[in-house]
Structure formats: C-alpha cells, structure tokens
Amino acid sequence: MPSALITGITGQDGLYLAELLLAKGYDVHGLIRGQNNPRRDLVEGLLPDVRLHNGDLTDLSSLIRAMRDSDPDEVYNLGAVSFVAYSWENAPLTTDVTGKGVLNMLEAVRLHSADDLGRIRFYQASSSEMFGKVQEVPQRETTLLWPRSPYGVSKVFGHYMTINYRESYGMHASSGILFNHESPRRGPEFVTRKISQAVARIHLGAQKDIVLGNLDAERDWGFAGDYVEAMWLMLQQEQADDYVISTGETHSIREFLTLAFARVGIDDWEPYVRQDERFMRPAEVDQLIGDAAKAKAALGWEPRVSFPELVAMMVDADVEAQKAGW
Ligand code: NAP
Ligand code: F7E
C-alpha cells in the first residue's frame, strides 16, 4: 500500500487530496499544528482513516519526527499562510511558514531518505500569485516571476528551493503552479466563498449586503477537486517537473457576483454590494490566466468543472448550509 504525508491537511486542498488518496488505497498521514487545533475534529470526523502527526512547518525537528513516524512514499507540502491580504500584515510569519517552511520540509525529506534521495516523491504547492505583475499572457511555466505580495515572494522562494533540491540532490521534487481553485470548502476569507456565503444569507433574509474591495481583478478560477488530481498525477511521473494548472479562462469579481446572485434569482446585484478601502490591497494582481498545455500533454490533465458550474456549486452548498443552520 503506498503511503503519503500531507501538510496542510486541515485546509481546502488537504481535505480533497486526502479523500482522493484514500480512494486510491493509500495509507494517508497528515501534519497538524498547534495545541488543540480547532480543525482536528473536522479532519477526524470526515477522514477517520487518516493518521495525524503533530508538527509545524516552522519547526524542523517536528517535521523530521513526522517523516520518521509516517515513512511516506509521497509528501505533499500544502501547508502555508495562504491568505494574500493577511501576508502584508504578517510578512515575517508568512515568510517563515510559506517560504522557509518549504525548505524545512525539503530538508526533512532529504534527511529521512539520505540512503536513496529519489525514493520519496515531493510535491510543492506553488502558486499563480508568483506571476503577480504578469510579464506574459497567458502565464506558463517559463513566464518570468514578478510577485506582488509577501505571500507571492515567499512562494517564489519555495518554488526555486524545490527546483534547487531537485537539481542539487536528484530529489523527485515537483512544483504545481496552481491558479486559483475554489470549492464549498474554501475558507470564508477568500473572495469567492465570501460572496457565495453572503449571497446565500441575502437570499434567506439573514444579511443585507456584502462589502468587498476591488471588483475588477480577474482570476483563472477552477474547482479544487479537479486540481488535487493534478498534484497526484505529477508525483506519478518518472521525472519530477513543474506544471501550470489552470482552466485557461479568466473572470472578474463582477462576473462571479453576476452568476452567484443570478443563482438565487437576483439579476441586479449592485444594490447589495458596497466597496470599501479596507479590502483593497497595497499592490494588486490585476489579471491571471494560465496556459496548462504542458500538464495536458504530459499528465493528460484537464479541468472538468466549468466556471458557471463552480459558482452554482458554491452558492447551492452555502444555501443548504445556511438552511441547516451550520
Ligand atoms: P488553506 O485552506 O488556507 O490551508 C492552509 C493549510 O496550511 C491549513 O491546513 C493550515 O493549518 C496549514 N498551515 C498554516 N500554517 C502552518 C504551519 N505553520 N505549519 C503547518 N501547517 C500550517 O489553503 P488551500 O487553499 O488548501 O491551499 C493549499 C496550498 O496550496 C497552500 O500552500 C496555498 O498557498 C497553495 N495554493 C492555493 C491555491 C488556491 O487557490 N487554493 C492556489 C495556489 C496555491 P491550520 O488549520 O492549522 O491553520
Ligand atoms: O482574492 C479581490 C482581491 O483572496 C481574489 C489564494 O488561494 O489564490 C488565492 O489568492 C481577488 C483579489 O484570492 C475582496 O483583491 C475583492 O484580486 O480570493 P482572494 P487571491 O488573492 O487570488 C492564489 C492563487 C493563492 O495562491 C492564494 O493562496 O479578489 N477581492 N474584494 C477580494 N478578496 C478578498 N479576499 N476579499 C474581498 O473582500
């Protein structure tokens, strides 16, 4: 039975990836941080077969211990401070977790597999946020990186460290440059879920309006369930490599609002939306659109869920959750 260790198991992608690997017959281990982590119950309830190990990406000794106790064939490094807006408020912490945490995880893997450095396959959760002030449209694996946030800068560090460990030590280390991917499990701080939750509440009369920042930014949004399959496929290749994972379509926050409100029968959303400086960023990433041709050719990967299907899925799930009183 193959085995895998997932950092960031309590996050959106960690949950989908753990489900996918369990369905494939993996022995799945997850790294969980902190004293009495409030999301431990969620993971244990949803995925009782996953074995949890205490650890923190900023604490190398805990990662070495987790590697020893899980002895995995594959490591998926999904843990991060992942909220871009928060990364300006806590840039040093973001750097420690999202940047240096990758180096710590690579070191833990290297030390654990010193006898055969290609033995453990490593996945790094790189991000389209690394493209920032985009230097090419659409963005591909070779596009110059120009990050615009402490989060983006930290991801660039992790990305190149992953490539460096592959080139220096022959480690099977791959990076997935994933564009935005969403789901009903998306954290409520991210714009798509913030909108789907608010739309559900407005529909049910529990909320009056929603306050947002820049409505003109454009993102290449896909479904998280599709994207975790790409992570797994990358680690099944003989050679480690880097891949853009995206839909190849871009949509504005306004378009997301239009589809989300229409889903509950509201055609004119303007009266329900206010804008506030509070949600504007010191430096914005205006438009992202990815070219996943390499992943399609090499991995046979393609997104399945369309943008309208994604919006409908998220709004419907939040309407159900609100009705159930969650
Ligand atoms: P998420 O829901 O925010 O999950 C982040 C995970 O990181 C959580 O499990 C969190 O655990 C964990 N974490 C935070 N600090 C940690 C630390 N010090 N040590 C260990 N774990 C820590 O993120 P996601 O959307 O699933 O994304 C997964 C990964 O892909 C992240 O690295 C993200 O940056 C990257 N990514 C995401 C997207 C996207 O659109 N979703 C796109 C590109 C790349 P707690 O529960 O303890 O906080
Ligand atoms: O913002 C605009 C905001 O926070 C998207 C992370 O998973 O994807 C995610 O990062 C856009 C931005 O995601 C609000 O200014 C307007 O232009 O949902 P977001 P993100 O910053 O793109 C990348 C690929 C990652 O790697 C990250 O980990 O929406 N926006 N008004 C707003 N955003 C938020 N959060 N809240 C608003 O009120």
pLDDT tens, 164-177?
999 999 999 999 99
- pLDDT cut 70: percent of the chain above it: 100
Atom 21 of ligand 2, nearest CA residue: 84
CATH T-level assignment (fold) for domain 188-219+249-284+306-323? UDP-galactose 4-epimerase; domain 1 (3.90.25)
3-state secondary structure of 248: coil
The answer, yes or no, to whether residue 149 has pLDDT greater than 80, is yes
Starting from the CA of residue 40, give the closest ligand: 1
The architecture that CATH gives domain 3-181+223-245 is 3-Layer(aba) Sandwich (3.40)
Residue 103 belongs to what H/E stretch?
A: helix 101-112
3-state secondary structure of 52: strand
- pLDDT at residue 264, rounded to an integer: 98
Residues forming the active site: 127, 129, 151
Give the pLDDT confidence of 164-220 residue by residue, as tens digits: 999 999 999 999 999 999 999 999 999 999 999 999 999 999 999 999 999 999 999
Atom 23 of ligand 2, nearest CA residue: 180
User: Which residue ranges have their beta carbon within 6 Å of ligand 1?
Assistant: 7-14, 31, 33-34, 37, 39, 56-58, 78-82, 97, 125, 127, 178, 180-181, 187
User: Which residue ranges have their beta carbon within 6 Å of ligand 2?
Assistant: 82, 84-85, 127-129, 179-180, 189-192, 194, 212-214, 217, 219, 253, 279, 281, 284
- pLDDT at residue 326, rounded to an integer: 74
φ, ψ for residue 32, nearest 5 deg: -130, 140
- pLDDT at residue 146, rounded to an integer: 98
Give distance in angstroms: CA of 80 to centre of ligand 1.
4
Query: Taking the domains of the chain in order of start, what are their residue ranges?
Result: 3-181+223-245, 188-219+249-284+306-323
pLDDT bin (cut points 50, 70, 90) of residue 13 is very high
For a mutational test of ligand 1's pocket, the pick from 6, 7, 9, 13, i.e. the residue with the most ligand atoms closer than 8 A to its C-beta, is 13
Closest CA to 84 of 40, 147, 16, 178: 147
Q: How many CB atoms lie within 10 A of CB 19?
A: 16
Mean local confidence (pLDDT), 269-273: 98
